[in-house]
Every structure is written in structure tokens, then in C-alpha cells.
Amino acid sequence: MHPVQIVDLFAGPGGLDVAAEKLGMATVGVEWDSAACATRRAAGLETVEGDVRRYGPGLFPDADVLAGGPPCQTFTVAGTGAGRRALDDVLAFVERMVAREDREEIAKDLSKLEDERTGLVLEPLRWALEAIDDLGKPYRAIVLEQVPAVLPVWEAYAKALHSEGYSVDCGLLRTEAYGVPQTRKRAVLIARLGPESVKLPAPTHRTYRKGVPRDSGDSSLAPWRTMNDVLRRESPFLVISNYGTGGDPKARGRRGSWEPSATVTGKITRNRVVSLDGAEMDRFSFSEAGRLQTFPTDYPWSGKDVGQQIGNAVPPRLAMHVLCAAFGWEPPTDDVLSKVQTWRPKGPAEEEGSAEVVPQPVMADAV
Ligand SMILES: C[S@@+](CC[C@H](N)C(=O)[O-])C[C@H]1O[C@@H](n2cnc3c(N)ncnc32)[C@H](O)[C@@H]1O
């Protein structure tokens, strides 16, 4: 059988790719940050280091699945004037792209946006439409992930992809409901070519609520997992956030090792870790912060600002559930899920440094 090959846009250090590789799929990631690329190469993940806007599906003819986690800075201010304007702009561009308006005109208008990063969220749609129009080979599945504020964009994508012959589902997923020892909400879209309906993965674990014991709630679901389940430090601890809730430095969020971690952000390694009697303990190592995101214990974090790379990533365990749902496969079993606990010994490909894909030519008509 032809193996699945995923082209992963804005691939970061490889949260989605780790999941895909463990599920037996091949991946190639496009990523421009040299630090994230250093990690990817150390992990042996195929990588094209460059700007997603300079490439297109024609340069990855073997890929039959599209994935993407575009950066989200302009949407994290959703609710503010800038966030709303960015959203309105994007929704208008989605309509123009689906109506097949002249690509150069669209590119010209995109370059005039108040914040040029706003247009990045449209890149997966550009790739999906170009695969249809230029290659006559639509991606058989599409998987997108972003912060909750991007959900209205995914809803517009859902309508657009439906009109191109895809079945689509999108919504907000909570990571702890899939066995990730961390509370984190993400807007996820999955699409599969053809009429057969597609559904976001069903939760396997209970959702976390402060003060509600882990053994109460829906008995058909497993209890949420705790930091201690993956870190196994010798004694219980409290994590005290680097930030004050709502900007109040006195109201720093706290979670105990018997709870899931708060959302892992780029500042995770700055959080204080203290014993129950208040003594300072070692802050999280990169491996520990990665494990809270369900990366393998031995994932070879490399390059600068590893905390940011970790905070940016999709938790591989969530990505496994999402990929299986996108293909209509059974949910991953515990045996399959446990594969993300360790990465792999260095193979010959990595030793020869051949994990990097030979740089592709820049597209003439790129933005
Ligand atoms: C939210 S992270 C994606 C994380 C990834 N999905 C994972 O699971 O590890 C977004 C990534 O997009 C990258 N990025 C931003 N703009 C880009 C561009 N124009 N071309 C390529 N990569 C870009 C950032 O460096 C960052 O690593």
C-alpha cells in the first residue's frame, strides 16, 4: 500500500510529525526558524528550512496529506480591535480564494495587511486549492491546529473545503481529555476527501476542573493525567506560574504535581517549582517541559529558545488522536500511544546528516 506522506506547514520542532512518524507515516516539514530546524534535524525529521509562502504543493508531489499550525500572534488578541479586523480580513480572503480570484491580486492585497503575519493563516488554504487546481490531486486529508481564537477561521475553511468535496469537522479540543498531562485548548480542523463523514476524535479522559477530584465524573472516561504521571519526581511539588493571572503579579497560577500542568507556554522553564513546604526545587528541564507536552523523554531539543519551541508545539499524543480521526482509523491504542514516550536511537540517515531535504527552488509566482 502507498504509505501516507504528510507535508507539514509551519512544522515547528515537530509535535505533529513525531505523532505521524510513530503512526507509520512519512513527513516533511516546512519551517523557517533555525532553532526549530536544529531540533528537527537532530530528531532526523525531514525538513525544508524556509518561508512557507515561497513554496507550494507542486514542490512536494508525493505528499497526499496537508497539515499545518500557522503562527497565531494576530489572533491571540481576538476581542481587541486589531484581532477583529484581522479576522474580518481573513474571512474576506477565504471567500476570494475559493472564488478563484486572480492569485496575483490576492497576493498584492495580502501584502498590504496591517500585520503581514495575518495572511499566514491562509497558507494551508492556498496549498489545498493549488493542489486541486494546479496538480489535479487534492490532498486526501487536511489537519489544522491553532489557538482557540482561530476557530472562526477554521469554520470558514470548513465551508470552503466542503465546497471542494471534503467532509470536515472542526471545534475546540482540550488536551487533558486525550491523556495529555496539561490543560490546553486548541482549535482543530480535520478534513477528508469524499462524502464519508469525518468526526473529531472522541475524548478518552475526563476534563479537568480546579478542585474536582480526578476520580469523579464520567465513569466511561479515564481520569485526567497528572504532571507526576510523566515526570516522576521524588516528592510532590507546586508549579508557580511566571505570570500573574489577569496581569496581577500577586495572583500567580499554581498547579500541584497531582494535577495536570497549566498550559505549557514558551516561558515554561521560567516557572518556579517548589516543594510543599515552600523550598525551591529545580525548574523544569527541557526534557520535563517536553514531557508535559507528551514529547518523548529523549527528544533531542536543540538550538536556541527551546522553551519557545516546546510551547509552540502540538502535543504529539493529541496529534495521534487527531490524525487517526482524520483518516477514519480506530483511535490509537495504549500500545501505540506509548510509542511517543521515547524517540529513537540515531539511525544511519541522521549520522550522515541527510535528514535535511535538499533546498527546493523558490517558486516564481510566490508571494
Ligand atoms: C505554532 S508553531 C507550529 C508548531 C508545530 N505544529 C508543532 O507541532 O511543533 C508555528 C511555527 O511556524 C513557524 N513560522 C512562522 N512563520 C513562518 C513562515 N512564514 N514560514 C515557515 N515557518 C514559519 C514558526 O517559527 C513556528 O515554529
- pLDDT in the model for residue 366: 35
Same domain, yes or no: 167 and 24: yes
Contact 22, 316 (CB under 8 A): yes
- The span from the CA of 61 to the CA of 76, in Å, is 34
Q: Same domain for 155 and 272?
A: no
- With a 6 A CB cut-off, is 71 part of the ligand 1 pocket? yes
Separation of 69 CA from ligand 1 center, angstroms? 7
What distance in angstroms lies between residue 306's CA and the mean position of ligand 1's atoms? Answer: 14
13-71 confidence digits (pLDDT tens): 999 999 999 999 999 999 999 999 999 999 999 999 999 999 999 999 999 999 999 98
10 Cα–ligand 1 center, Å: 3
Chain mean position to CA 359: 24
Q: Is residue 293 situated within a structural domain? A: yes
Residue 158, helix vs strand vs coil: helix
> Does any ligand 1 atom lie closer than 6 A to the CB of residue 21?
no
> Could you tell me if the CB of 120 is within 6 A of ligand 1?
yes
Tell whether 221 is covered by a domain: no
- Work out whether the CA dihedral 237, 315, 170, 206 comes out positive or negative: negative
Q: Are residues 32 and 178 in the same domain?
A: yes
* Same-domain check for residues 178 and 233: no
Residue 245 phi, psi (nearest 5):
-60, 135
Residue of 51, 121, 312 to mutate, ligand 1, most atoms within 8 A of C-beta: 312
Is the domain of 326 the same as that of 293?
A: no
Same domain (yes/no): 281, 317: no
* pLDDT tens figures, 317-361: 999 999 999 999 999 999 999 999 999 854 555 444 445 554 443
Cα–Cα distance, 284 to 291 (Å, whole number): 10
Is 70 among the domain residues? yes
| Closest residue to atom 2 of ligand 1, CA basis | 312
133/48 same-domain check: yes
Instruction: Answer yes or no: is pLDDT of 367 > 50.
Output: no
Classify residue 79: in a domain, yes or no: yes
Domain that holds residue 280: 227-302
| Same domain as 80, residue 124 | yes
Regarding whether 320 and 290 lie in a shared domain, the answer is no
pLDDT of residue 250: 63
For residue 91, the SS3 value is: helix
Residue 121 lies in a domain: yes
Report whether pLDDT(244) > 80.
no
Q: In angstroms, rounded to a whole number, what is the distance separating the alpha carbons of residues 105 and 101? A: 8
* Last residue within a domain, chosen from 280, 302, 324: 302
CATH number for 53: 3.40.50.150
Phi, psi of 233 (to 5 degrees): -70, 165
Measured by CA distance, the residue closest to atom 12 of ligand 1 is: 10
Nine-digit cell at 275?
516543594
Q: Is residue 219 part of a domain?
A: no
Residue 362 included in any domain: no
Check pocket membership of 29 for ligand 1, CB cut-off 6 A: no
- In short, whether 32's Cβ falls inside 6 Å of ligand 1 is yes
Distance from C-alpha of 162 to C-alpha of 192, rounded to nearest angstrom: 10
- Nearest atom of ligand 1 to the alpha carbon of 146: 1
User: Which atom of ligand 1 lies nearest, measured to the CA of 316?
Assistant: 8
pLDDT per residue as tens digits for the range 245-287 = 555 666 668 999 999 999 999 999 999 999 999 999 999 999 9
- My answer on whether 329 and 257 are in the same domain is no
Question: Using CA positions, which residue lies closest to atom 14 of ligand 1?
Answer: 10
- Lookup: cell for 306: 527551546
* Residue of 33, 34, 26, 27 whose CA lies nearest to 10: 33
For residues 127 and 232, membership in a common domain is answered with no
Same domain, 320 and 278: no
Grid coordinates belonging to 92: 474576506
Amino acid (1-letter code) at residue 202: A
pLDDT tens digits along 73-116: 777 655 567 777 888 889 999 999 999 999 999 999 998 887 87
| Tally of domains within the chain | 2
Confidence (pTM): 0.91
Residue 243 within any structural domain of the chain: yes
